[in-house]
């Protein structure tokens, strides 16, 4: 390959995470199943269109299965443990198990109403949509490139987070590879016997990869810090902790009616203090970046398309709460509000502007 040929440029990994987390924030502002279905379809289309051919990008289906399991578990809990919600539409009456006096408020069995199941479905679907959005970010953003973009103060924490995020995709890829190899040899890959013969090679591969990762981290000077004056360390700690407390207080103020006046200024002040503390803390971990990813116009558009959906549903939840939170008692058929739905569809923008990287990226 000639040296003067342009290198394929990937979208900034942080842009994908901001886009996906914004869709997840939008999912938390509503219980409307139509809007949740639209959020899931938006994330799925972008993943199918833009994800590269890499082991860490194949975990989206695992997150979808996890989301379905969470939804099912939420419904099972609603059936077996009941709900404090009053309901008149009784679907089935299960045998009720008597409990001692100290377990008051907990019910096992009894009447299962349609209102209880509907409330549990809405609640579980919200969490399932959030998990699917996180799975979309995990399938689109290269964890190693995301690690390169972190500030120096968060580098060690970022390494731990990247290792944790890449465990599931590599584990799934190893299981698929070992099962395919056993099927080609005509050996069982299901049942208890197949589980034992598949699990041992996967665990062995995980151990070898952990040893190789530890050696690579030691060779690159992981954990080594530079000497900085005590005054700088104290200032860094004060700014970081104060900034995080300000972010928490500002977020709480925005979520409550009483704190609407002070919430935004406190949040912005806390964010500024935290960023200043992270910048000062970066002096302890001096490092260089080889070919750093640039935050270009495409990254702004991708992150902004998700932010549009989050802001639109945040405003719609205050302007028209009945449309975003359909009634459960009595049950009300959900309707599709037009302008929140249009804002969610703006999240499809990455499918048309994100660069297509057909080559296989390193994992």
Length of the chain: 363
What pLDDT does residue 115 have? Answer: 83
Residue 359 has pLDDT above 50, yes or no: no
Which pLDDT band holds residue 164 (cuts at 50, 70, 90)?
low
CA distances for 125 relative to 35, 59, 128, 169, 258, angstroms: 11, 20, 5, 24, 29
What pLDDT does residue 353 have? Answer: 86
Higher-confidence residue: 148 or 132?
Answer: 132
What pLDDT does residue 44 have? Answer: 93
Residue 309 has pLDDT above 70, yes or no: yes
Which pLDDT band holds residue 9 (cuts at 50, 70, 90)?
low
Which pLDDT band holds residue 70 (cuts at 50, 70, 90)?
very high
Which pLDDT band holds residue 152 (cuts at 50, 70, 90)?
low
164: CB partners within 8 A, 6+ apart: none
SS3 186: coil
Q: Please write the tens of the pLDDT for every residue from 203-258.
A: 777 777 767 766 776 676 665 666 667 787 788 778 888 888 888 887 777 666 55
Residue 161 has pLDDT above 90, yes or no: no
Mean pLDDT to the nearest integer, 5-9: 42
Listed residue (29, 128, 112) closest to 77, CA to CA: 112
What pLDDT does residue 8 have? Answer: 41
Residue 302 has pLDDT above 60, yes or no: yes
Q: What is the DSSP letter of 87?
A: -
Alpha helices of 9-113 — where are they, by DSSP H? Answer: 13-28, 33-50, 60-81
Greatest Cα pair distance in the chain = 78
Rounded to the nearest integer, the mean pLDDT of the chain is 77
Domain locations along the chain = 13-149+292-353, 229-284
């Amino acid at each position: 390959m000639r040296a003067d040929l342009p290198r394929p440029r990937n979208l900034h990994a942080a842009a994908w995470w901001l886009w996906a987390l914004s869709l997840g924030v939008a999912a938390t502002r509503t219980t409307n199943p139509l809007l949740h279905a639209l959020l899931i379809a938006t994330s799925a289309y972008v993943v199918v269109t833009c994800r590269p051919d890499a082991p860490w990008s194949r975990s989206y289906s695992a997150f979808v299965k996890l989301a379905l399991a969470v939804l099912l578990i939420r419904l099972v809990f609603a059936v077996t443990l009941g709900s404090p919600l009053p309901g008149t539409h009784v679907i089935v009456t299960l045998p009720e198990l008597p409990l001692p006096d100290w377990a008051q408020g907990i019910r096992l069995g009894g009447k299962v109403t349609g209102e209880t199941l509907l409330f549990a479905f809405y609640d579980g679907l919200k969490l399932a949509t959030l998990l699917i959005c996180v799975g979309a970010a995990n399938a689109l953003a290269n964890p190693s490139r995301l690690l390169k973009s972190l500030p120096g103060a968060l580098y060690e924490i970022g390494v731990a987070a990247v290792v944790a995020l890449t465990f599931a995709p590599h584990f799934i890829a190893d299981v698929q590879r070992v099962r395919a190899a056993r099927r080609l040899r005509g050996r069982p890959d299901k049942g208890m016997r197949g589980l034992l013969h598949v699990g041992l090679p996967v665990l062995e591969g995980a151990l070898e990869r952990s040893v190789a990762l530890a050696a690579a981290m030691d060779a690159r000077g992981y954990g080594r810090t530079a000497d900085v004056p005590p005054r700088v360390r104290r200032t860094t700690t004060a700014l970081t902790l104060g900034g995080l407390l300000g972010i928490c207080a500002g977020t709480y103020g925005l979520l409550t009616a009483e704190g609407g006046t002070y919430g935004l200024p406190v949040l912005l002040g806390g964010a500024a203090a935290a960023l200043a503390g992270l910048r000062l803390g970066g002096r302890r971990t001096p490092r260089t970046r080889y070919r750093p990813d640039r935050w270009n116009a495409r990254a702004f558009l991708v992150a902004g398309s998700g932010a549009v959906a989050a802001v639109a549903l945040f405003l719609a939840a205050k302007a028209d709460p009945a449309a975003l939170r359909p009634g459960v008692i009595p049950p009300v058929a959900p309707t599709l509000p037009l302008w929140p739905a249009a804002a969610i569809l703006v999240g499809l923008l990455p499918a048309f502007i994100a660069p297509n990287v057909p080559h296989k990226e390193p994992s």
